[in-house]
C-alpha cells in the first residue's frame, strides 16, 4: 500500500530551487544526500541544473516514468500541477505547499478544488501544508527536515510538522530507529487510517506512532485502529483536549477537534495506546519497539536505593501492574549473596554499595521466578557502582530472556553513556522510575488487548417498533423534548421497569392517584418549562397520607407560581415511592465525530461535581458495558461496602446495552439520560425513576 510514496523508483521535485534555505532546495538536497538510489527530476524552468542534477522546465518534459511527485510551488499553481501528474500517470504526490484550509476560507475553497482535481486526475496525495515524508529503508528523505533518522522499527505519522521536527531532533543523538516519518499536514486526501493500514502492512514497522489533533471520520478511524492494533501496537498522542487546546487545534490545521471523552472512549475501544505527552509517546515507543511484551501483570523491581524503589512501587500500585512477592526459594537464594540488611522482597534493594556483579546475580536470581512477567532495574549512581559495567550486565541478561526489562538509571551526566549502551542493546532507559512503570503498564495493557477475543455485539431487535410512534409524534409536533408520558412510553418500550405513576391536575385527583398507587408516594411537578424538577422544589418524596398529598400539592404549585409566574403548570405526577437501591445515571450523548456514546456513572445530585463517569461509543458490546462500569472510582460502592448487599451489576450492564440499542435505533436522539436509575440488590433489577430526552434532526 502507498508503495510509490515509500519506495519510489523515481521522484520529481516540482518547484526545486537552487537557493539554500528555500524549501525547494532543502527537499532536493535531502533526497540526494541520504543515499536515495532512484532517479531524481528537479523541475525548474529558470536553471539548467541544481546540486549537479539536470533540471526540466516542466513536469511534462521529463522523459522517464515518475513514481512520486513532490510539490513545492505556490498554492495557486498546485491544481495545475496535479492535472499534469494525472496526464503523466503519476499516481502519488506529496504536497508541501501551505496556504490551504489552515489559512482561512479562501484556502479552504482551494483545498476542496484540489481534492476534486486530484480525484479526477487519479492522484493520491499527502498534505497539503506538510513537511514531507521519510522512509529510512528505501532511503527516501522527501522532506525539509534537518537530518535523517536511523533505520528502525518505529513508524511515525504526525498532523503537526513541528512535532515531526521535535521528534526527529530528539531521535537523532540517541540513534533511535524509525522506519518511516510522515508529516500529514491537512490530511486532505491521505488520512490517518490510510497511513495506519500502510504501516500495519509494512514489514519494517514494528510500532505505529502518531500525533493527531482530530480525525475526519471517527467510526472509520475506530474500525481501522481496531484492526491494525491487533497486529501492531498503535500509540497516539492526541492534542486539543482542553477547550483552549481545542481552539488552538482548529486554528492550526482547521481540524474539528472531537471531545475528550469521545476520543478516550474511541481509543480504549479500538486498542490504541494513548500517550498524554511527547515524552510519554517516546517512552512508550522505545519500550514497544525494543522489548517483548510482559505476558502478565507481575513485575519485580531491583534497586540500589530505597527511595526510588518506593516511588516505583507506588507507581505500580496506581497502575494495573502487580508487585508479586518472590518465591521462598528465590528469597533464600538472594540471601546467600546479598548483605543481610538488603531487602529480599519486592522491590529487591541490593543496597548502595552494590556493584555490577551484585546487580547481575540479583537479576538472574529474580528471573528464575516464573511468575514474574517483567522486570525494572533502578540505579542511583553511587560512588561504588560501575555504571558502564552494570549497563552491559543488564543488557546481556535482557538479550537472553523473553521477558521485558526496562531500566531507570537515574541522573544525567554519570549515566548518559550507560543509557546509550543500554538502548543500543534494545533496553530503554528512563530518567525516572515512574516512567519505566508507566511504559511497562502500557505494554501490559497491550498484551491484554491482543489476547482479548473479538467483541461480540448483541442486538436487541423488537424494541424499536414500539417506540417509533412516540418519536414520530414528537417530530410531527415539532418538539425537541419528550413529555413525561412519552419518556414513559419509550422507556417501557425498551423494557425498563418504571415506578407506577399517574398524572393529576388537581389535589383531589392527586389523592385518588395516591390511593390507587398505594402509600408512600412521590409527587413531582409537571410543567413544560421545568427540566430539573427538584432544583425548584418540585419533587416531594415519602408522602404517607391524604393530608400530606394535599399539602404537598398546594405547596409545590404555589411555590412554582411564586418563583416563575410565567410557567405553565399542567399538574403533578404521583409516583410509587421506590425504596432501597442505589442511584446511578446512564445516558446517551452525541459526539460530532464518533456519533452516539453511552455514559455511565454513580448518580444522585453530586454527579456533575464528581464527574465520576465513563463513556463508550455505540454499539456497546457486553464487554464494553462490563468495563465501563468498573472504570468508575465509585464502582466498589456497587459491590457493596461494610456488609451492604451487592447491587445488580448485571442488570446495569444489560441496561447499558439496551440504551446502546436505542441509540442505534434512533439516530435522532441528541441526548438522553436516566437519572436516577435505581439499582436494587443482585437479581432484583433496576427501576428508571426519572429521564429526559432531547431529539432533533432526522
Task: Name the minimum Å distance from CB 585 to ligand ADP.
Answer: 9
Strands (E), 608-683: 613-617, 669-679
Residues with Cβ within 8 Å of 72's Cβ and at least 6 positions away in sequence, in order, are 13, 14, 15, 16, 17, 23, 24, 27, 96, 97
Task: Name the minimum Å distance from CB 152 to Mg ion.
Answer: 55
Q: Of the listed pieces 116-124, 333-341, 438-446, 685-693, which binds Mg ion according to CB under 5 A?
A: 685-693
Buried b (16+ CB within 10 A) or exposed e, 470-487: bbeebeeeeeeebbbebb
Which of residues 335 and 532 has its CB atom nearest to Mg ion in the complex? 532
* 92 makes contact with ligand ADP (CB under 6 A): no
From candidates 578, 599, 658, 686, binder to ligand ADP by CB under 6 A: 578
Q: Of the listed pieces 282-290, 318-326, 559-567, 684-692, which binds Mg ion according to CB under 5 A?
A: 684-692
Residues with Cβ within 8 Å of 226's Cβ and at least 6 positions away in sequence, in order, are 269, 270, 271
Q: Of the listed pieces 130-138, 169-177, 374-382, 534-542, which binds ligand ADP according to CB under 6 A?
A: 534-542
Q: What is the 3-state secondary structure (H, E, C) of 192-257?
A: HHHHHHHHHHCCCCCEEEEEECCCCCHHHHHHHHHHHHCCCCEEEEECCCCHHHHHHHHHHHCCCC
Distance between CA 653 and CA 650 in Å, rounded?
5
Which of residues 511 and 560 has its CB atom nearest to Mg ion in the complex? 560
**Rg over CA atoms, the chain:** 32
Q: Are 441 and 320 in contact (CB under 8 A)?
A: yes
Which of residues 258 and 581 has its CB atom nearest to ligand ADP in the complex? 581
Task: Name the minimum Å distance from CB 561 to Mg ion.
Answer: 22
DSSP string, 327-377: PHHHHHHHHHHS-TTSB-SSSEE--TT--HHHHHHHHHHHHT-TT--EEEE
Residues 664 to 683: which contact ligand ADP by CB under 6 A? Answer: 676
Distance between CA 361 and CA 174 in Å, rounded?
29
Q: How many residues does the chain have?
A: 698
* 75 makes contact with Mg ion (CB under 5 A): no
From candidates 81, 323, 375, 689, binder to ligand ADP by CB under 6 A: 689
Which of residues 167 and 689 has its CB atom nearest to ligand ADP in the complex? 689
Distance between CA 234 and CA 228 in Å, rounded?
8
The entry of ligand ADP, Mg ion, none near residue 507 (CB within 5 to 8 angstroms by kind) is: none
Measured between alpha carbons, how far is residue 531 from residues 116, 483, 585 in Å? 47, 11, 16
Task: Name the minimum Å distance from CB 606 to Mg ion.
Answer: 13
End-to-end CA distance of the chain: 38
Distance between CA 4 and CA 84 in Å, rounded?
17
Which of residues 113 and 484 has its CB atom nearest to Mg ion in the complex? 484
* 97 makes contact with ligand ADP (CB under 6 A): no
Q: Are 447 and 294 in contact (CB under 8 A)?
A: yes
**Which residue has cell 524552468?**
45
From candidates 522, 543, 607, 677, binder to ligand ADP by CB under 6 A: 522
Which of residues 280 and 576 has its CB atom nearest to ligand ADP in the complex? 576
Task: Name the minimum Å distance from CB 235 to Mg ion.
Answer: 40
Task: Name the minimum Å distance from CB 532 to Mg ion.
Answer: 7
Q: Are 287 and 279 in contact (CB under 8 A)?
A: no
From candidates 575, 589, 632, 660, binder to ligand ADP by CB under 6 A: 575
From candidates 690, 693, 694, 695, binder to Mg ion by CB under 5 A: 690
* 448 makes contact with ligand ADP (CB under 6 A): no
From candidates 322, 420, 475, 533, binder to ligand ADP by CB under 6 A: 533
Please tell me what DSSP assigns to residue 448.
Answer: H
Task: Name the minimum Å distance from CB 675 to Mg ion.
Answer: 4
The entry of ligand ADP, Mg ion, none near residue 656 (CB within 5 to 8 angstroms by kind) is: none
The number of residues that bind ligand ADP (CB under 6 A) is: 16
* 539 makes contact with ligand ADP (CB under 6 A): yes
Residues 484 to 513: which contact ligand ADP by CB under 6 A? Answer: 499
The entry of ligand ADP, Mg ion, none near residue 539 (CB within 5 to 8 angstroms by kind) is: ligand ADP
The entry of Mg ion, ligand ADP, none near residue 577 (CB within 5 to 8 angstroms by kind) is: ligand ADP
Distance between CA 418 and CA 409 in Å, rounded?
8
* 581 makes contact with ligand ADP (CB under 6 A): no
Distance between CA 41 and CA 60 in Å, rounded?
11
Binding mask 315-354 for Mg ion (x = CB under 5 A): ----------------------------------------
Buried b (16+ CB within 10 A) or exposed e, 293-302: bbebbbbbbb
Task: Name the minimum Å distance from CB 586 to ligand ADP.
Answer: 13
Which phi and psi angles does 684 have, rounded to 5°? -105, -5
* 675 makes contact with Mg ion (CB under 5 A): yes
From candidates 318, 452, 455, 532, binder to ligand ADP by CB under 6 A: 532
* 524 makes contact with ligand ADP (CB under 6 A): yes
The entry of Mg ion, ligand ADP, none near residue 540 (CB within 5 to 8 angstroms by kind) is: none
The number of residues that bind Mg ion (CB under 5 A) is: 2
Q: Of the listed pieces 18-26, 234-242, 533-541, 631-639, which binds ligand ADP according to CB under 6 A?
A: 533-541
The entry of Mg ion, ligand ADP, none near residue 406 (CB within 5 to 8 angstroms by kind) is: none
From candidates 534, 621, 634, 668, binder to ligand ADP by CB under 6 A: 534
Q: What is the largest distance, in Å, between two alpha-carbon atoms of the chain?
A: 102
Distance between CA 206 and CA 224 in Å, rounded?
17
Task: Name the minimum Å distance from CB 520 to ligand ADP.
Answer: 9
* 541 makes contact with ligand ADP (CB under 6 A): yes
| Beta partners for residue 540, in sequence order | 523
Residues in contact with Mg ion by CB under 5 A are 675, 690
Residues in contact with ligand ADP by CB under 6 A are 499, 522, 524, 532-534, 539, 541, 575-578, 583, 676, 689-690
Amino acid at each position: 500500500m502507498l508503495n510509490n510514496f515509500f519506495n519510489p523508483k523515481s521522484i520529481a521535485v516540482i518547484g526545486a530551487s537552487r537557493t539554500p534555505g528555500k524549501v525547494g532546495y532543502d527537499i532536493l538536497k535531502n533526497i540526494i544526500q541520504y543515499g536515495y538510489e532512484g532517479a531524481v527530476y528537479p523541475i525548474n524552468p529558470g536553471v539548467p541544473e541544481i546540486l549537479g542534477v539536470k533540471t526540466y522546465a516542466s513536469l511534462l518534459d521529463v522523459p522517464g516514468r515518475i513514481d512520486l511527485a513532490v510539490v513545492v510551488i505556490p498554492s495557486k499553481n498546485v491544481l495545475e500541477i496535479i492535472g499534469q501528474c494525472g496526464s503523466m500517470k503519476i499516481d502519488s504526490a506529496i504536497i508541501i505547499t501551505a496556504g490551504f484550509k489552515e489559512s482561512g476560507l479562501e484556502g479552504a475553497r482551494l483545498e476542496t478544488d484540489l481534492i476534486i482535481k486530484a480525484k479526477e486526475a487519479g492522484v493520491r496525495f499527502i498534505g497539503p501544508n506538510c513537511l514531507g515524508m521519510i522512509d529510512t529503508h528505501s532511503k527516501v528523505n522527501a522532506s525539509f527536515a534537518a537530518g535523517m533518522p536511523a533505520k528502525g522499527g518505529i513508524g511515525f505519522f504526525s498532523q503537526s510538522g513541528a512535532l515531526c521536527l521535535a521528534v526527529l531532533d530528539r531521535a537523532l543523538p540517541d540513534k533511535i530507529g524509525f522506519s518511516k516519518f510522515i508529516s500529514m499536514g491537512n490530511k486532505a486526501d491521505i488520512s490517518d487510517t490510510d497511513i495506519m493500514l500502510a504501516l500495519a502492512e509494512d514489514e519494517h514497522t514494528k510500532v505505529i506512532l502518531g500525533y493527531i489533533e482530530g480525525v475526519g471520520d471517527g467510526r472509520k478511524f475506530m474500525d481501522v485502529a481496531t484492526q491494525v492494533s491487533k497486529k501492531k501496537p498503535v500509540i497516539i498522542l492526541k492534542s486539543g483536549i482542553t477547550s483552549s487546546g481545542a481552539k488552538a487545534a482548529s486554528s492550526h490545521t482547521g481540524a474539528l477537534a472531537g471531545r475528550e471523552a469521545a476520543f478516550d472512549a474511541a481509543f480504549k475501544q479500538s486498542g490504541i495506546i494513548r500517550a498524554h505527552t511527547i515524552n510519554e509517546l517516546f517512552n512508550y515507543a522505545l519500550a514497544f519497539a525494543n522489548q517483548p511484551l510482559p505476558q502478565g501483570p507481575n513485575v519485580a523491581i531491583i534497586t540500589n536505593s530505597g527511595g526510588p524503589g518506593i516511588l516505583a512501587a507506588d507507581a505500580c500500585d496506581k497502575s494495573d501492574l502487580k508487585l508479586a512477592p518472590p518465591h521462598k526459594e528465590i528469597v533464600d537464594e538472594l540471601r546467600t549473596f546479598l548483605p543481610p540488611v538488603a531487602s529480599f522482597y519486592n522491590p529487591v534493594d541490593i543496597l548502595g554499595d552494590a556493584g555490577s556483579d551484585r546487580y547481575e546475580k540479583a537479576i538472574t536470581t529474580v528471573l528464575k521466578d516464573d511468575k514474574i512477567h517483567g522486570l525494572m532495574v533502578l540505579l542511583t549512581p553511587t560512588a561504588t557502582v560501575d555504571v558502564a559495567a552494570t549497563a552491559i550486565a543488564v543488557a546481556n541478561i535482557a538479550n537472553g530472556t523473553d521477558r521485558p526489562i526496562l531500566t531507570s538509571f537515574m541522573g544525567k551526566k554519570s549515566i548518559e553513556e550507560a543509557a546509550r549502551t543500554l538502548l543500543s542493546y534494545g533496553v530503554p532507559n528512563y530518567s525516572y522510575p515512574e516512567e519505566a512503570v508507566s511504559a511497562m503498564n502500557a505494554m501490559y495493557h497491550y498484551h491484554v488487548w491482543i489476547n482479548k477475543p473479538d467483541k461480540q455485539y448483541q442486538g436487541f431487535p423488537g424494541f424499536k417498533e414500539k417506540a417509533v410512534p412516540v418519536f414520530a409524534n414528537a417530530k410531527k409536533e415539532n418538539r425537541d423534548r419528550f413529555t413525561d408520558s412519552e419518556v414513559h412510553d419509550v422507556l417501557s418500550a425498551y423494557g425498563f421497569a418504571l415506578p407506577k405513576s399517574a398524572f393529576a391536575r388537581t389535589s383531589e385527583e392527586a389523592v385518588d392517584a395516591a390511593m390507587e398507587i398505594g402509600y408512600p408516594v412521590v409527587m413531582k411537578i409537571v410543567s413544560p418549562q421545568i427540566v430539573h424538577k427538584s432544583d425548584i422544589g418540585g419533587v416531594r418524596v415519602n408522602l404517607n397520607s391524604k393530608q400530606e398529598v394535599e399539602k404537598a400539592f398546594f405547596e409545590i404549585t404555589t411555590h412554582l407560581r411564586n418563583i416563575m409566574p410565567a410557567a405553565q403548570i399542567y399538574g403533578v405526577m404521583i409516583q410509587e415511592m421506590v425504596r432501597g437501591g442505589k442511584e446511578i445515571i446512564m445516558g446517551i450523548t452525541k459526539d460530532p465525530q464518533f456519533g452516539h456514546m453511552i455514559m455511565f456513572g454513580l448518580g444522585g445530585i453530586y454527579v456533575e461535581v464528581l464527574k465520576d463517569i465513563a463513556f463508550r461509543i455505540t454499539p456497546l458490546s457486553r464487554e464494553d458495558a462490563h468495563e465501563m462500569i468498573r472504570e468508575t472510582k465509585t464502582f466498589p460502592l456497587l459491590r457493596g461496602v461494610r456488609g451492604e448487599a451487592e447491587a445488580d451489576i448485571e442488570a446495569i450492564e444489560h441496561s447499558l446495552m439496551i440504551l446502546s440499542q436505542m441509540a442505534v435505533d434512533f439516530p435522532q436522539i441528541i441526548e438522553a439520560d436516566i437519572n436516577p436509575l435505581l439499582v436494587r440488590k443482585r437479581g432484583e433489577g433496576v427501576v428508571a425513576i426519572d429521564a429526559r430526552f432531547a431529539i432533533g434532526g432526522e
